[in-house]
Copies of this chain bind each other. A is one copy, B any other.
Amino acid sequence: MSLDGFIARPDGRTDEVHAWYSQGDTEVQMPNHDLTFKTDPISAEVIRESFRQLGANVTGRNTFEDAQAWGGQDPMGLPSFIVSHHVPDRWAGPDSPFTFVTDGVARAIALARSAAGDKAVGVAGADIARQCLQLGLLDEIQLHLVPVLLGSGIRLFEDSGSGTIGLEKLRVVETAHVTHLWYRVVK
């Protein structure tokens, strides 16, 4: 997220907010995937820690499409649940690497929890994360705050109008290009 709250430019581009992904020399290998990227050593460890903690992912359809289905499998090689109104033909078969959930976010989270065992469920996509927050299904927020003002674009936190939600700061890890922040959602 940019300091002024945006996760993408108005045209959806994320050059600035994802810049820290490529600012450094430490290679991060996506688990069970041939994707790699290079970032600073501290951020690399933050990302690897997430990989170790997660057992399943829930992603919104828009994020899934934007990522072009990560080349055909979950980016972390985990059970992958996509919240969508419809199941696209291409990913409809029983051998699909993705489970499309058409009856809502809560159902997707329940399925992902079951698949994750004693590990955590990752939630990606601002809209899905906001829905989870409103439904009381979000336990923690991990935020990557980048030193830029975009001025306009797609906000991580749109006006929800649903009142105050308390947070407890768990941890702050800073690098030159990004400040990683962890919060627990107070319920």
- Chain A interface (Cβ < 8 Å from any Cβ of B): 3-5, 16, 133, 141, 143, 145, 147-152, 155-157, 159-169, 172, 174, 176-177, 179, 181, 183
Contact = CB atoms under 8 A, between A and B. Distances in A.
Q: Which of A143, A148, A156 is most buried by chain B, counting CB atoms within 10 A of its CB? A: A148
A4 B157 contact: yes
Copies per complex of this chain? 2
Contact of A174 (B161, B166, B169, B177): B169
B168 A147 contact: yes
B164 A151 contact: yes
Contacts of A162: 151
A151 B161 contact: yes
Contact of A148 (B156, B161, B165): B165
A3 B167 contact: yes
A151 B169 contact: no
Given A164-B16, A169-B174, A179-B181, A159 B152 contact: yes
Given A4-B5, A5-B5, A167-B147, A172 B179 contact: yes
Q: Which of A4, A152, A179, A183 has the most CB of B within 10 A?
A: A4
A169 B147 contact: yes
Contacts of A174: 169, 172
